[in-house]
Amino acid sequence: MPKVKVDGVELEVPAGATVLQACELAGKEIPRFCYHERLSIAGNCRMCLVEVKPGPPKPQASCALPAAEGQEIRTDSEMVKKAREGVMEFLLINHPLDCPICDQGGECDLQDQSVAYGRGGSRYDENKRAVTSKNMGPLIKTTMTRCIHCTRCVRFSEEIAGVDEIGAIYRGENMQITTYLEKAATHEMSANVIDLCPVGALTSRPYAFEARPWELKKTLGIDVSDATGANIRIDSRGREVLRVLPRINDDVNEEWISDKARYQVDGLTKRRLDKPFLRKDGKLVPVSWQEAFSAIATLNPGNSIAAVAGDMVDCETMFAAKKLLGALGSSLLEGRQTGMDYDCSSLAAVNFNSGFNGIETADAILIVGSQVRTEAPLVNVRLRKAVKRGAKVFLVGPAWETTFGGEFLGEDLSVLNQLPQHVWDALSGAKRPAVIVGGAGLGRGGLEASLSIAGQLKLVRELEDGSTWNGFNVLHLSAARMGGLMLGYAQKGGIADLAAAAPKVVLALGADEVDFTKFANSMVVYIGHHGDKGAHAADVVLPAAAYTEKNGTYVNTEGRVQLSDKAVFAPGDAREDWTILRAMADAFGVSVGFDSFEELRAAMAAEVPALGVEGLADYGQDLPAGGGSASGVIAYPIKDFYLTNPIARASAVMQQCSAELLHGEEIAEAAE
């Protein structure tokens, strides 16, 4: 632990810290462009210059200089100020003065720092460098003249994303950032380079010229496009969500989000259900809420009612529906829309027990039936980190392009019954072994066989430091899954049990992946926000709120309970889901026991206490023994990463991504 002096104040810094980090610990702000906490150190922008003694009598780049015992660092001397002003002047030589037409304006590192270190005017009389803008696909808009060559985007794609697709070609002042032959960036996390870019060189294409940052209302939300529960900031203006940005949460998403989480939001204004519909003579006809509820009141289902929860609903909605069904005397609840029927009697057996932070430290990982890159891009980033630390990864399932290497053991689940010797040796020799069972690995005995492996490998163990390691992980695909399982949205036989019960009424809570032909004799009441498959099959459509339009509790695949806030109002006549269910209780003439959202939340916390506390829910560490044999060829559930949910399917941006990036269609670009 070296002791250093920063501007005369002595402090102790952690071993291995850089001078820049030491200055930050001392509360000094160091301007920087190329340095980023989560990327490797490049040291090429030179903005973070400080004066360090002992050392050469000139300013030094603090980001790349290790803090050493007895250093005297000055961040406020005349020399430092002059040096930084010099660097800023050089950076601005070739940077266009186009802030008024630049989308980065207002949230631009260069703009902010030039206020502190920039000269009042330019001394540069020559022509500025001009660089042709590069195509980087439908999500990233480039204006490469603005690039200051910090190479954050290059380092992100190489180190975090694991796809070498962005590079710096040519040299010196001719250096240009580009993708190879200007092909579109295709990684699922590619748009994070927009946040990383300290200037306006890489900006968001769908958000181009939409708004200035200071016009936007910022709301803290949770992403529902996959089960990782990424923390997001919802930026809205008026009634429209304009963009979604990641929030920093080191336990969940660090500071990244997937492209789908970021760009599906334009789907929130398209194909929306904004008034109730009733099916009359085979056609859905718009009606008023009054008509809709009077029609529902005539259904009189008694206890012959079932509820199916969709992939993106919040816990409050599911709880309200559960209460409604309970009041009617039914417990036919199911959330696994596609018909999965794995055993949910122990929630620890269907949870990502090691946590996202934990999986980074695993040293041998067996992945069963998960195409992690598309199912949970943020977990993929963690796996890549684990492999960089030396973890060995084995995968069961059809081969896909991993970003972390790994060995594929075959497409058939039966390999779990008798793992190859070298795999077994690697897993049993590991200190922190882990198994990840994905959506495709849960069925056909996969979960039980994996649990049996977990038992034999003793995945739940005491580590040397006394902490408990639980390496058994299930990676779900839908944001509502863990919350649904905690609320009892699981029948023994899955959704087939519901179909077998042939209920008079089926409540579809944003459920769009259900095979409704199995409920041909039931009245389907769809409560959701998009006119997608569920609404098409429904007899009554009640317009509800999407995830940005209601307060909600979500539980991610690690069992982390997180709260999301309401950013905007739902369009038209649409109402928040719980109010619809509450009104439905009146229509059926039963009481659900809550009249306000607060009462609903309190009732939910009383019934499932874990849902009332933010943070990891405790499911215990006892895994069922499992056993039995698994067999069958794995087929991954996600065929099209960009179109997995009704919001994304309605989004023009996601449709364009799917067409151009996955199906190789010609780039449809308007003449600019």
Partner 1 sequence: MADRYIEPDTPELRARWGNFAWTPENADKAKDVLSRYPEGRQRSAVMPLLDLAQRQVGAEENTQGWLPIPVMEYVAAYLDMPIIRVVEVATFYTMYNIAPIGRFHVQVCGTTPCMLRGSDDIISACKKRGMKAGHITADGLWSFTEVECMGNCASAPMVQINDDNYEDLNVENFDKVLDALARGETPKAGTQDPNRHTVEPTGGPTTLTAMVSENHDYRGEW
- The residue type found at 306 is A
Least Å distance, CB 170 to partner 1, is: 5
Give the number of other CB atoms < 10 A from CB of residue 27: 10
In the complex with partner 1, the residue whose CB is nearer, 175 or 590, is: 175
Show the binding pattern over residues 227-256: x = contacts partner 1 (CB under 8 A), - = does not: ------------------------------
Least Å distance, CB 123 to partner 1, is: 22
**Distance (Å, rounded) from C-alpha 47 to C-alpha 91?**
9
In the complex with partner 1, the residue whose CB is nearer, 171 or 283, is: 171
Using CB under 8 A as the binding rule, whether residue 174 contacts partner 1 is answered as: yes
> What does the longest C-alpha to C-alpha distance in the chain come to?
87
Contact range with partner 1 by CB under 8 A, out of 85-93, 175-183, 253-261, 347-355: 175-183
In the complex with partner 1, the residue whose CB is nearer, 10 or 173, is: 173
In the complex with partner 1, the residue whose CB is nearer, 407 or 599, is: 407
**284 — phi, psi (to 5°)?**
-80, 120
Show the binding pattern over residues 177-206: x = contacts partner 1 (CB under 8 A), - = does not: --xxx-------------------------
Least Å distance, CB 136 to partner 1, is: 13
**Distance (Å, rounded) from C-alpha 195 to C-alpha 177?**
16
Using CB under 8 A as the binding rule, whether residue 172 contacts partner 1 is answered as: yes
Least Å distance, CB 40 to partner 1, is: 15
Token pair, residue 92, equals: 């601005």
Beta-strand relationship, 217-222 and 231-237: antiparallel
Range 251-290, binding partner 1 (CB under 8 A) = none
Using CB under 8 A as the binding rule, whether residue 40 contacts partner 1 is answered as: no
Least Å distance, CB 182 to partner 1, is: 10
Token pair, residue 350, equals: 């269907």
**Distance (Å, rounded) from C-alpha 570 to C-alpha 574?**
6
In the complex with partner 1, the residue whose CB is nearer, 166 or 372, is: 166
Beta-strand relationship, 305-309 and 332-334: parallel
Closest residue by Cα to residue 644 from 226, 363, 232: 226
Contact range with partner 1 by CB under 8 A, out of 80-88, 174-182, 408-416, 646-654: 174-182
| Residue 246: cis peptide before it, omega within 30 degrees of 0 | no
Alpha helices for 214-306 (secondary structure H)? 259-263, 289-297
Least Å distance, CB 28 to partner 1, is: 35
- Contact 641/662 with Cβ under 8 angstroms? yes
In the complex with partner 1, the residue whose CB is nearer, 168 or 603, is: 168
Least Å distance, CB 94 to partner 1, is: 14
Place of tokens 């181009």: 208
In the complex with partner 1, the residue whose CB is nearer, 62 or 402, is: 402
Token pair, residue 402, equals: 């991993």
Using CB under 8 A as the binding rule, whether residue 101 contacts partner 1 is answered as: no
**Distance (Å, rounded) from C-alpha 484 to C-alpha 310?**
9
Least Å distance, CB 169 to partner 1, is: 4
In the complex with partner 1, the residue whose CB is nearer, 181 or 625, is: 181
Contact range with partner 1 by CB under 8 A, out of 173-181, 187-195, 298-306, 586-594: 173-181
CB-count burial class (<10 Å; 0-12, 13-18, 19+) for 473:
buried
Helices (H) and strands (E) in the chain, counts: 20, 29
In the complex with partner 1, the residue whose CB is nearer, 169 or 667, is: 169
Show the binding pattern over residues 337-376: x = contacts partner 1 (CB under 8 A), - = does not: ----------------------------------------
Residue by residue, DSSP assigns 302-319 as TT-EEEEE-SS--HHHHH
In the complex with partner 1, the residue whose CB is nearer, 62 or 403, is: 403
| Bridge partners of residue 460, in order along the sequence | 470
| Bridge partners of residue 272, in order along the sequence | 530
In the complex with partner 1, the residue whose CB is nearer, 158 or 640, is: 158
In the complex with partner 1, the residue whose CB is nearer, 187 or 444, is: 187
Q: Which helix (H) or strand (E) holds 284?
A: strand 283-286
Using CB under 8 A as the binding rule, whether residue 127 contacts partner 1 is answered as: no
**Distance (Å, rounded) from C-alpha 40 to C-alpha 47?**
16
Least Å distance, CB 457 to partner 1, is: 29
CB-count burial class (<10 Å; 0-12, 13-18, 19+) for 172:
exposed
Least Å distance, CB 410 to partner 1, is: 24
Least Å distance, CB 644 to partner 1, is: 28
Least Å distance, CB 531 to partner 1, is: 42
Token pair, residue 498, equals: 């519901």
In the complex with partner 1, the residue whose CB is nearer, 75 or 157, is: 157
- Contact 614/629 with Cβ under 8 angstroms? no
Least Å distance, CB 165 to partner 1, is: 6
- Contact 597/604 with Cβ under 8 angstroms? no
Q: Which helix (H) or strand (E) holds 448?
A: helix 446-457
Least Å distance, CB 193 to partner 1, is: 14
- Contact 291/278 with Cβ under 8 angstroms? yes
Q: How many residues bind partner 1 (CB under 8 A)?
A: 14
Least Å distance, CB 391 to partner 1, is: 17
Binds partner 1 (CB under 8 A): choice among 10, 173, 215, 565: 173
Chain CA centroid to CA 367, Å: 20
**Distance (Å, rounded) from C-alpha 405 to C-alpha 314?**
36
For 156, which DSSP code?
Answer: I
Contact range with partner 1 by CB under 8 A, out of 176-184, 254-262, 652-660, 664-672: 176-184
In the complex with partner 1, the residue whose CB is nearer, 174 or 517, is: 174
Range 132-171, binding partner 1 (CB under 8 A) = 164-171
- The residue type found at 642 is Y
In the complex with partner 1, the residue whose CB is nearer, 167 or 213, is: 167
Instruction: Point out which residues bind partner 1 (CB under 8 A).
Output: 164-174, 179-181
